[in-house]
Amino acid sequence: MNNLEDLKTIGVLIGISLQVIGLAFVIYQLKKLNTSIRISAQSALYQQSSTVRAIIVEHPNLRKYFFEKEEISSDSEHYDRVKTIAEMFLNYLEHLVIQQGSLRAGDLAAWHRFVSRTINASPIMQNLLKEKPEFYSDDLLRLYDIGQTKMT
């Protein structure tokens, strides 16, 4: 009977060992998945940024409405294009804010400054946020508010 008890003990130990190995493998896989998700998020952000910037490169005369605090009149021939670009730009900035959990901690403060300063340099983006705040995340609106406070 002693041999049977020894075999049971060995079986239990093997089972526990396999569970520990399995758990280590799952942890390893989760870390790889986390890395993959971060890379994917970064790639999507840079793609979206490139799209917005490419539009501004195509229309450099509109840059002032996004980076130089230039107002645009609603009767301007460029108004609809500028408004559309501003909406795209805000969607990109909101994507940045929403993805902040996937950004490295050291980059987060820089991204927050970028979002805040970008919005505060563009009256058209500010107007969109004011006119339709329900279209944007609370985090994006909060960064805009923080930027407004620092500017005054």
pLDDT value for 148: 57
Query: Dihedral of CA 10/12/14/20: which sign?
Result: negative
The amino acid at residue 14 is: I
Place of tokens 């979206």: 48
30-62 pLDDT per residue, tens: 888 877 777 777 787 778 888 888 999 999 999
Q: 151 or 144: whose pLDDT is higher?
A: 144
- Residue 141 pLDDT exceeds 50: yes
DSSP states along the chain: -HHHHHHHHHHHHHHHHHHHHHHHHHHHHHHHHHHHHHHHHHHHHHHHHHHHHHHHHH-GGGTHHHHS-----TTSTTHHHHHHHHHHHHHHHHHHHHGGGGS-HHHHHHHHHHHHHHHHT-HHHHHHHHH-GGGS-HHHHHHHHHHHHHH-
| pLDDT tens digit sequence for 88-135 | 999 999 988 887 777 777 777 888 888 888 999 999 999 999 999 999
Q: 69: closest CA among 115, 110, 140, 126? A: 126
Percent of the chain with pLDDT over 90: 37
Q: What does the pLDDT look like over 74-84, one tens digit per residue?
A: 999 999 999 99
What's the whole-model pTM score?
0.70
